Amino acid sequence: MKWLEVSTENCTVQRTLDLVGEKWTLLVLRDAFNGVRRFDDFHRHVGLSEAVLAGRLRKLVEAGILAMVPYQERGSRARHEYRLTSKGRDLWPVLVALRQWGETHVANPEGPVLDLRHTACDAPVNVVVECSRDHVALTPSEVTARPGPAARPRA
């Protein structure tokens, strides 16, 4: 079965995009990876309406990507902050890859807004697709994509 003969109804890329593929959701995740935890901070930094932000946060919590954690400042009512779950932290390479592509193809002439460095040696961080056996970087021409066990014929 060739790719064009495969149904995309159960495609994991499509299901992932259904959860996180919207611009504002990715920007909320960007901020979460950079330490933003509280609704007001997301609202102020990302710059979207409270209603849209509340919807995006709710969707991410329902998907298990963020968790609501209670906190209370002295003299204030109890509130919640949003923390990445392990499922959410697994999206980090995706955001780093998007940033890396952007720095290559649509970069600000003044340089990056966010400079990712390895804490131990200060070298730049890159996302690489590699062979799981040999751990060598691969290009698309070195990879064979074939239908997997969940592939179904296109109707």
Q: Is residue 10 part of a domain?
A: yes
pTM, two decimals, is 0.89
Residue 147 lies inside a defined structural domain of this protein: no
Q: Is residue 154 part of a domain?
A: no
Question: Is 150 inside any structural domain?
Answer: no
* pLDDT at 36 > cutoff 80: yes
Range of the domain at 40: 3-142
Whether residue 107 lies inside any domain: the answer is yes
68 belongs to a structural domain: yes
Across the chain, mean pLDDT equals 94
Q: In this predicted structure, what is the pLDDT of residue 1?
A: 74
Domain with residue 94: its CATH number is 1.10.10.10
Q: Domain count of the chain? A: 1
- Determine contact, residues 79/70, Cβ cutoff 8 Å: yes
